[in-house]
Amino acid sequence: MALYASPGRSAYRNESGVWLVEIRLHEVRQLFSHLDPAPFREKDLDPEAENYIDAAAREIGLRRPKKLRIHLPAGVADSSDARTLPDAVSNYFSYRASQTRNELHRLLARGLASLAIGLAFLFACLTLRRSLLSAGSHVVVAEGLLIIGWVALWRPVEIFLYDWWPIRRRQRHFEAIARMPVEVVAGPEPASRPAH
């Protein structure tokens, strides 16, 4: 598998306002993981191909129009396997978006559970603190309970303020790649150089 970038300022060619992510293959199966026994339309992409497409889409930008162009030899480009490539790439990145969405739901559910536990613990600490202060002793222990009670809310606050949005961004990124048009072209490689 050869991955291409164009010479000049940008690593990717712009054709009529659409940025091209280009891959040259000798055969269709090069795009897919050799360990996955599923049919082409449902196979996992080869990790190198996935990383390249993912990195290229990030570099080009989520909102900029882009297209995946797969170069194949003339006889291979007309095959039934080659015709399944657009669906296969879309299905794979839709699946990755779905996995990421599930990861986000699990994180938010864990955040809610942590919040419930943290609030219950804080309430218990505040109740015990009030009892200690009304007894007129153990001020240091009472203040320690107050601090420990608030610290118990640290993890849910971290989840709801910071942890969820990188996962949501990754989900949106995979959804954008899944919608990206895929074009299979036959013939020689474009006038470009291999990416390093």
Decide yes or no: CATH 3.40.1350 for domain 2-95+179-194.
yes
The predicted pLDDT at position 184 comes to 94
Instruction: Provide the b/e sequence for 29-67 (b: ≥16 CB within 10 Å).
Output: ebbbbeeeeeebeebbbbeebbebbbebbeebeeeeebe
Residue 24 main-chain phi, psi, to 5 deg? -110, 125
pLDDT at 2: 57
| 3-class DSSP state of 2 | strand
pLDDT at 10: 56
Asked if residues 7 and 190 have their Cβ atoms less than 8 Å apart, the reply is no
The helix (run of H) or strand (run of E) holding residue 70 is strand 66-72
φ, ψ of residue 6 to 5 degrees: the values are -85, 150
Q: Find tokens 């107050």 and name the residue.
A: 146
Q: Which residues of the chain have pLDDT under 70?
A: 1-10, 35-42, 137, 188-196
For residue 9, what pLDDT is reported?
45
Please give the Cα distance from 184 to 167 (Å, whole number).
Answer: 31
pLDDT (0 to 100) of residue 21: 94
Q: What pTM was computed for the model?
A: 0.79
pLDDT attached to residue 134: 84
Amino acid at position 11, single letter: A
Tokens matching residue 157 = 């606050």
